[in-house]
Amino acid sequence: MNVIVCVKQIPDPALPGELDPDHTLKRDVKLILDESDMYGVEMALQLVDAAGGGEVTLVSMAPNSEKGGLRTALAMGAAKAVLVSDGSLAGSDSLGTARVLARAVERAGGADLVLTATESTDGYTGTVPGQVAELLGWPSLTFAKKVDVADGKVTIQRQTEAGYDVVEAPLPAVVSVTAGVVEPRYPSFKGIMAAKNKPIDECTPSDLGLSGDQVGWSGARQEIVSVAAAPEREAGEKIEDDGTAHERVVAFLEELKLI
């Protein structure tokens, strides 16, 4: 069984983000593997193990030939990767990104299953998985909190507010997994050393047959007209417990229609 995992390499969310003059997130900084995608990598490794063999391949679109995040996922156990990197990708909106990832999946030779996270940690539009599936002409199953593959079909438990739905589709398919679907393994020292020599096929959009007006700013269907600082978060309400604090907490949760 061959599984491809889309992995985004993002500026470290623990550090304050910066914007470039064109209002996009500054990305010519050290990029790391998006934690959301560690679940996809781990799920892929477990599915390949359960199938008794196969391969996990990574695909990533990132600036400046960035490979740091890919090496982390290769150290977890993925076999190889396709990296699409080129200055013309700057300003890509989610459709531009999906076009690149769909072509990268084809360049990797296709797969039985493509896994992604439900949303990235920096852009978090949550729209790329469905768009990749549409461009590949494959079914997309989203918000999977459990994934099973058998008899040429994938079955997921799709997380909902009320619990979950069971959703099934024939392979190949694109599945987005929720955080916590599995416990990602830590790369071992042996895994980190082995990752240094694992192949990364680096290519450009034109290598994938994509023209300039399909990616980057010229391919984007959105324009950032202005950027404003997010309003300061208001201080919460402090409740001194004189024995009735629970009533105030219950009233507060009722106001928010949480109970």
Ligand X SMILES: Cc1cc2nc3c(=O)[nH]c(=O)nc-3n(C[C@H](O)[C@H](O)[C@H](O)COP(=O)(O)OP(=O)(O)OC[C@H]3O[C@@H](n4cnc5c(N)ncnc54)[C@H](O)[C@@H]3O)c2cc1C
Distance CA 135, CA 116 (A): 15
Stretch that binds ligand X, among 74-82, 126-134, 210-218, 236-244 (CB under 6 A): 126-134
> Which of 18, 222, 245, 246 touches ligand X by CB under 6 A?
222
Count of CB atoms situated within 10 Å of the CB of 12: 12
> Which of 12, 124, 168, 183 touches ligand X by CB under 6 A?
124
Of the candidates 123, 97, 120, 94, the one whose C-alpha atom is nearest the C-alpha of residue 25 is 123
120 binding ligand X? (CB under 6 A) = yes
73 binding ligand X? (CB under 6 A) = no
- Between 188 and 218, CB nearer to ligand X: 218
> Which of 2, 36, 57, 72 touches ligand X by CB under 6 A?
36
93 binding ligand X? (CB under 6 A) = yes
Residue 190 Cβ, how far from ligand X at the closest point, in Å?
26
Distance CA 115, CA 1 (A): 13
The counts of H helices and E strands in the chain are 7, 11
Q: Are 155 and 148 within 8 A, CB to CB?
A: yes
126 binding ligand X? (CB under 6 A) = yes
Helix ranges, the chain (H): 35-50, 68-76, 94-107, 128-136, 189-195, 216-219, 245-255
Count of CB atoms situated within 10 Å of the CB of 69: 24
125 binding ligand X? (CB under 6 A) = yes
- Between 125 and 160, CB nearer to ligand X: 125
> Which of 116, 142, 159, 178 touches ligand X by CB under 6 A?
116
Distance CA 6, CA 178 (A): 14
Site residues for ligand X per CB under 6 A:
6-8, 25, 34, 36-37, 60-61, 92-94, 97, 101, 116-117, 119-120, 122-129, 222
